Structure 1
Amino acid sequence: MVKPRDLDPTASPLDYYGSELRRLREAASLSQAELGSCVFVTASLVGQVETTKRVPTRDFSERVDAALGTDGHFSRLAGLVLRSQLPTWFQAYAEMEARATYISTYQCQLVYGLLQTEEYARAVLGVEHQERLDELVAARMERQLILRRDEPPAMLVVLDEAVLHRAIGGRGVMREQLTRLLEYRDCPWLHLQVLPFSVGEHAAVMGSFNLLRFDRDPDLFYSESYDSGHMSANPQVIRERSLGYARLQGAALSREGSAKLIARVMEERYGDRTGPDGRALAQVVLQRQ
């Protein structure tokens, strides 16, 4: 059992979560071991969350809400806690992303974070953040909850063909990631295109960027460098980048052509897995759409 220590609930969302977990657990007259038994974790893990040694997952939070009858209290706090695990310079963008009505993104190196599988995200984030990897992966998966809303944001996605060929995490991880992309082929609120190598120079040759639109707030342009992000609502910047994005879409393959390219790369570069009827997995996924 982790030895109790005093927490300042105002210090951070994680400290507030820990203090609330201890307070409400004790109010229910449960030990850490008893609560752990109710939510199928060890007493040590409960103690680590209470003392901010571990970041709570959404699943853990939902189980605690059910065990303590706290009406979604910890599930709501989990969003704040996980968002606080994002890099400080990225948190402002994440908040705006969650409020956006339309998201347009061009990515030249990696799959956009909202579309990444957990294992792909783990491979990307693990390059430099092994000590906090679980927390960062959980925070990235939390961002993706906006796609599960009854009315998710409309998304326009252009991926450079290089994204398909960069073997993040190995062959198995890439197969699953490209399968995920293929599953969006006929999604009514997501339009995915691939910018092929054959295009050569193009309107975003300087790098990845995002455009966010809102119902009531000004549009935002976002780009980032190694350890910082830049947002701008400058009308001239928005105008120029919006025009550049339209040119990218015009140069990219159609939705159908993009799906065929993804399927081809998936089969040729990352191995040929077959479905129940013996067909290549990529073809099985395409046929489902």
Structure 2
Amino acid sequence: MVNIRDLDPSASPLDYYGSELRRLREAAGLKQAQLGDIIFCAASLVGQIETARKVPTRDFSERVDAALNTGGVFSRLVGLVLRSQLPAWFQAYAEMEAKAAYISTFQAQLIYGLLQTEGYARAVLGVRHERGLDAQVAARMERQRILEREQPPLMWVVLSEATLHQEVGGREVMREQLTHLLGLREREWVRVQILPFEAGAHAGLPGTFTLLRFEDDPDIVYTEDFVQGHMTANPAALREGSLRYDHLQAAALSVEKSAELIARVMEERYGHHPEPDGRAVA
């Protein structure tokens, strides 16, 4: 059993969060069970988070802030905690992604992480094992908070048609995911195009890649293999990535035609009948 007194608050964001939760709970004169009653969770959950054995969610953090009148301490800390749950090699990219003014990406096999539903993300991240899966899913959902900012990044996504047909997590998960893609048309700063099978050989055959553009920092191209990700600001790589992306956009369906294809795949493969704008019909 991990003893909270043996935890080093500087060891990780999770350890610091746990130590602060215990400190402020005790300062408020509350036992774990009493705090649990106030925020509608088990005392054991409070204890597991205080001992850094469980990762807190944003909802938990907001409820603790309200209960202990912290002024938003845990709502601010939880972002660091969740980001620390991302693979170590991915954390640097996530930080750059959060700073980007413009994101353009081509995805050959999977829906882009910023556009994934929770069910889809859970299925993707749980392929090999489920150890720490809740924390991994929470971290991926936390990444998506950049799309809710007052000034979110402009994002243009080209998806291979294969991403629509690859059944990830089952039919219900795919219906939810494709409905989400259709609903993105309401966000003027997000555009999704589908590269159809009919395009044949195309500039994205070497694989998935992402271009990040910034207001003040050098642009970056990001690629990934099954071991880790790779970021570079090399001008030659950026030129090649930008050229390939331009070709992919040109070969892809228009945003409107892409929505029609997404709706058709939903109907034909997953037994749903939506309009291109995402509204279901009988």
Which band: TM-score by shorter chain?
Answer: over 0.9
Q: Which runs of 4+ in 1 moved over 2 A?
A: 1-6, 280-284
State, as a whole percentage, how many aligned pairs show the same letter. 67
1:2 shift after superposition: 8.6
Normalization by structure 2: what TM-score? 0.97
Residue 130 of structure 1 aligns to a residue in which SS?
coil
Q: How does 1:40-59 map to 2 (within 5 A)?
A: 40-59=40-59
In structure 1, stretches of 5+ residues that fail to align are: 273-279
Deviations 1:130-171 (A, max 9, x none): 011000000000000000011110001000000000000010
Give the structure 2 partner of residue 275 of structure 1: none
Give the structure 1 partner of residue 81 of structure 2: 81
**Partner letter of residue 19 of structure 2?**
S
Q: How does 1:140-219 map to 2 (within 5 A)?
A: 140-219=140-219
Residues 9 and 3 (structure 1 numbering): CA distance in 2 closer, same or farther, change over 3 Å? Answer: closer
Deviations 1:200-254 (A, max 9, x none): 1111100000000000000000010002000000111111110110110000000
Give the structure 2 partner of residue 98 of structure 1: 98
Deviations 1:29-54 (A, max 9, x none): 10000111111101100000000110
1:284 shift after superposition: 6.6
2: CA distance, partners of 1:50 / 1:255: 47
1:185 shift after superposition: 2.1
Contact 2:4 2:19 in 1 (8 A): no
**Partner letter of residue 176 of structure 2?**
E
Deviations 1:94-113 (A, max 9, x none): 00000000000000000000
| Residues paired across the two proteins, number | 281
Which segment drifts farther, 164-173 or 177-186?
177-186
1:287 shift after superposition: 8.4
Residue 104 of structure 2 aligns to a residue in which SS?
strand
1: CA distance, partners of 2:171 / 2:21: 41
Query: How large is the Cα RMSD of the aligned pairs?
Result: 1.6
1: CA distance, partners of 2:232 / 2:48: 40
**Partner letter of residue 278 of structure 2?**
V
**Partner letter of residue 157 of structure 1?**
V
Residues 172 and 150 (structure 1 numbering): CA distance in 2 closer, same or farther, change over 3 Å? Answer: same
2: CA distance, partners of 1:132 / 1:126: 9
Residues 287 and 32 (structure 1 numbering): CA distance in 2 closer, same or farther, change over 3 Å? Answer: closer
Give the structure 2 partner of residue 281 of structure 1: 274
